[in-house]
Amino acid sequence: MKISVLAVCCALAIPAFAAKPAEEFKTKAGVLKITPIQHASLTIEAAGQVIQVDPAMGDFTGAPKADIILITDIHGDHLDTGKIAQLKKAGTMIIIPGAAKSDVPDGVVMKNGETKTVGPWTFEAIPMYNLKRGPAPGQLFHDKGRGNGYVVTYGGLRIYISGDTENIPEMRALKNIDVAFVCMNLPYTMPPEEAAEAVKAFKPKVVYPYHYGMSDLKVFQTALNGTGIDVRIRNWY
């Protein structure tokens, strides 16, 4: 099932990409930087290597070439073959869910529950799916097993990237997450109060709402007051 980028972004007028400040995190292997780009796209950098996550939204002119590209889903706000080609270089590994194989035939497929180590990086494929929301009765926007969230570990720092999901058991069961990027937007994923309930369950040290469209982030932030979780609101649009 294809959903237009325009629909997924709630008909927002998306501005051209402009570099945003990088967020720095100390790890046992040195400093790791994460740069929010747009909607569900972000860049992770450490040890001279670059991971581009869901490079689909925004203008990537001048963006660093990727050593690894992570794709969570087949929808156009996560997978753009033109931008993948733009960010590839010799030796780039593209990690994808199986459903993306026809779009990215040279991609390395990870199934839900699998773990892969690439140099200093470890990737865990976490389920991402809808429990109840879909375009019609009996249908879901994201079926279980079709896409991947990821836990990316570097130097002991564990980063969770939710992809498109609701408040699923696999998210609530996550352990020892340092940094989390958690989606929220209706009707495709979940509202901010539901996202906050999921975050309360797995208790990351830092959480960034992303892929949030027109969601009211104050609702998310207020729901997490008093939990000790560092909620970081950034401009993804």
Query: Contact 209/185 with Cβ under 8 angstroms?
Result: no
**Cβ neighbours of residue 56 under 8 Å, at least 6 residues apart?**
5, 39, 40, 41, 76, 77, 78, 79, 80, 83
Provide the β-strand partners of residue 181: 161, 208
CATH code of 21-230, in short, is 3.60.15.10
User: Could you tell me which of 194, 199, 222 has the C-alpha nearest to residue 130?
Assistant: 194
HSE (side-chain half, CA atoms, 13 Å) at 230: 8
How far does CA 152 lie from the centroid of its chain? Answer: 11
pLDDT tens for residues 147-156? 999 999 999 9
pLDDT tens for residues 126-144? 999 999 999 999 999 999 9
Mean pLDDT of the chain: 93
Q: Is the pLDDT of residue 220 over 90?
A: yes
Query: Contact 227/220 with Cβ under 8 angstroms?
Result: no
User: Could you tell me which of 189, 171, 156 has the C-alpha nearest to residue 78?
Assistant: 189
Cβ neighbours, 10 Å, residue 148: 29
- Alpha carbon distance 69, 88 (integer Å): 8
Q: Is the pLDDT of residue 110 over 80?
A: yes
At 39 the pLDDT is 96
* pLDDT band at 19; cut points 50, 70, 90: low
Structural domain boundaries in the chain: 21-230
At 119 the pLDDT is 97
pLDDT tens for residues 41-63? 999 999 999 999 999 998 888 88
